[in-house]
Amino acid sequence: MTRGVRKGLSKEVILKAAFKIVESGGVETLSMRRLGSELGVAAMAIYNHFPDREQLLDAMAESALAEITPDEQKGNWKKQVTNVARSVANLSIEKPAVFALCMSRPTKPKAAVVLMSKVLEALRQGGLSDKEALACYHSVLILLHGFPFWQAGLTKYCAASPDSIATADLSEQEKRDWKLLHTVDPAKQFEASLALLLDGY
Amino acid sequence: MTRGVRKGLSKEVILKAAFKIVESGGVETLSMRRLGSELGVAAMAIYNHFPDREQLLDAMAESALAEITPDEQKGNWKKQVTNVARSVANLSIEKPAVFALCMSRPTKPKAAVVLMSKVLEALRQGGLSDKEALACYHSVLILLHGFPFWQAGLTKYCAASPDSIATADLSEQEKRDWKLLHTVDPAKQFEASLALLLDGY
DNA sequence: ACCTGAACACCGTTCAAGT
DNA sequence: ACCTGAACACCGTTCAAGT
């Protein structure tokens, strides 16, 4: 291979390939070397566009959250908040590994701020006090952070055999409960949890 | 070093050292080699007690959750559920990295089942229908999964300078909101979110 | 500016060898 | 059964070299 030849690499192209890898195998399968080979490029070429792996992951979170564009806000404030939260949760359903990546990064992307202000605006429109709005906003946020990890645990056991190994030394009651718990539809459960939160006001 | 000499290694001793590392630096700093040197032992010695790193992490989650022993159940069902959930959330406040590890493992430990049945029992006592109990249980579970990750984002920005870099190109309103959002007490916010969920019934 | 290979300091894990 | 070092196939990242 000749050196110093332009390969048309760019942030966008790299991010696209990175998403492909994460979507199919999770963050832990995304290595600089693998990403490089996916792009037909030496691993080190990536460092011309991102300073290190951590910042590449941050850029992925930024990019993924920026893609979330809720529908035009309409209806009462609860519907507006639900609308935003649902569009975020949708990412978790469509691309669980990508969303888990977003939620596990303590560095919150700028894109999160525009979603934040959308929700806060709705809460103020709803006439909530500052204190109430704060509590409500964070409640929704905790729910969103938990969703991908809760979902992962759920699908893990649903993928396993109906009578999983883990249920070996459980009482009959516990076994029935265990099975019952794994009959949930993630999207519906999220909506239900969210409604529960918002109906407090 | 002479070979084949017993070093008094055991699951308990290894787990203890592993917790120490994770508590101080997070899961990503826990390597078999580092764990070995912490124990004064070759990395490979650990493989006599745990098949691989993944199962060591699972054992840590199991062990950490088994330590959670809620007070004796008393009061109405909401207080009972709050009681269990609070004792779980406490772990996140005392050892955030350990709890994040627990919640990020899709393989749920057996120890989780005893907590599950405690909550379900309370919900049934409260006279909730199967459908309601299911939704309520999962709502609490999503909240618990989200708590450590939400908390990590919060403390990250509170540790940073009051006027963080991230707030560079925000409107004045957004800046004020951003600051306001980071004045929350994690434990209180969790209680508030939980109460919001349970008061739906 | 952008890409390369070699090199360094790490990983997890296998395997043959020791007691 | 329990522990060891050497080895293998990986990592992220630095650095000097190429265009």
CA-nearest of B111, B132, B135 to B58 is: B111
Instruction: Report the pLDDT averaged over residues B134-158.
Output: 95
B145–A contact, CB cutoff 8 A: yes
Joined tokens for residue B92? 């996140």
Contacts of A133 (CB under 8 A, 6+ apart): A120, A123, A124
A2 Cβ within 7 A of any nucleic strand D atom: yes
Pick the more confident residue, B190 or A176: B190
Mean pLDDT of chain B: 92
pLDDT digit string (tens) for B94-111? 999 999 999 999 998 889
Q: Which nucleotides of C are covered by protein (CB under 7 A)?
A: 1-6, 10-19
Residue B163: how many other CB atoms lie within 10 Å: 10
Burial of A2 (0-12, 13-18, 19+ CB in 10 A): exposed
Residue A164 pLDDT exceeds 90: no
Q: Evaluate whether B115 touches B88 at the Cβ level (below 8 Å).
A: yes
User: A189 by DSSP, 3-state: which?
Assistant: helix
| Interface membership of B131 toward A (CB under 8 Å) | no
Asked if A139 and B173 come within 8 Å (Cβ–Cβ), the reply is no
Mean pLDDT of chain A: 92
Look up tokens 């951590």; give the residue: A54
Does A1 score more than 50 pLDDT? Answer: no
For chain B, the domains span: 11-51, 66-199
Condensed to tens digits (0 to 9), the pLDDT of residues B30-89 reads: 999 999 999 999 999 999 999 999 999 999 999 999 999 999 888 999 999 999 999 999
Does the beta carbon of A53 lie under 8 angstroms from any beta carbon of chain B? Answer: no
User: Using the beta-carbon criterion (under 8 Å), do B142 and A113 form an inter-chain contact?
Assistant: no
State the pLDDT at residue A82: 97
pLDDT digits (tens, 9 = 90+) for B9-19: 999 999 999 99
pLDDT, mean of residues B18-31: 98
CATH topology of domain A11-51: Arc Repressor Mutant, subunit A (1.10.10)
Q: What is the pTM of this model?
A: 0.95
CATH superfamily of A66-199: Tetracycline Repressor, domain 2 (1.10.357.10)
Q: What is the pLDDT of residue B162?
A: 55
Residue of A nearest to B144 (CA): A146
Instruction: Name the percent of chain B lying above pLDDT 90.
Output: 75
Closest to A126 measured CA to CA, from A82, A90, A188: A82
| Helices A77-94, A96-104: crossing angle, 10 deg rounding | 110
